[in-house]
Amino acid sequence: MAPRPLIVVRRRFPDVLTTEPADDDAEAYGAAWPLVEEWRWMREAHPHHGRGVRWLEAEARILALELAMLDEHGLTLPPETQPLRGFARKGQTTWRRTALQDTQRALVWERRRRWVRRVLTLGLWWR
């Protein structure tokens, strides 16, 4: 049986997510690496403030990615520099769940508002 290759991670805390890519990201984040990659891309492309259906959809996706990384993979998100444990982690997940619910609610209202605008303008607003 061949010896398993040793993975050397050059980080102090491998479960703390960084916004800047590093060479050992795939090894450090393991199964969460696709989520981290998508989160970094979306976070960079997504403006901090906005309106409309597209902005709300992107915001909801970012929050869903963050929740998955926190809950399922046990990562700690920036700006934290040390891993979150206990109540601190619970607080982070709670406010993200609340923000996701608020964003999804706003998305439903924005879609309804867009539909009403289209009906009232006989579809001219859409073009």
**90, 97 Cβ separation under 8 angstroms:** no
Q: Name the pLDDT band for 125 (thresholds 50, 70, 90).
A: low
**SS3 track for the chain:** CCCCCCCCCCCCCCCECCCCCCCCHHHHHHHHHHHHHHHHHHHHHCCCCCCHHHHHHHHHHHHHHHHHHHHCCCCECCCCCCCCCHHHHHHHHHHHHHHHHHHHHHHHHHHHHHHHHHHHCCCCCCC
Residue 37, pLDDT score: 94
Mean pLDDT rounded to a whole number for the chain: 87
Residue 48, pLDDT score: 82
Question: Looking at residues 12-22, what average pLDDT do you find?
Answer: 86
> What's the token pair of residue 58?
């992107």
∠ Cα 83 8 42 (to 5°): 55
109 or 119: which carries more pLDDT confidence?
A: 109
Question: Looking at residues 1-12, what average pLDDT do you find?
Answer: 62
Question: Looking at residues 33-57, what average pLDDT do you find?
Answer: 91
Q: Is residue 70 pLDDT above 90, yes or no?
A: yes
Question: Looking at residues 78-89, what average pLDDT do you find?
Answer: 89
pLDDT digits (tens, 9 = 90+) for 50-61: 889 999 999 999
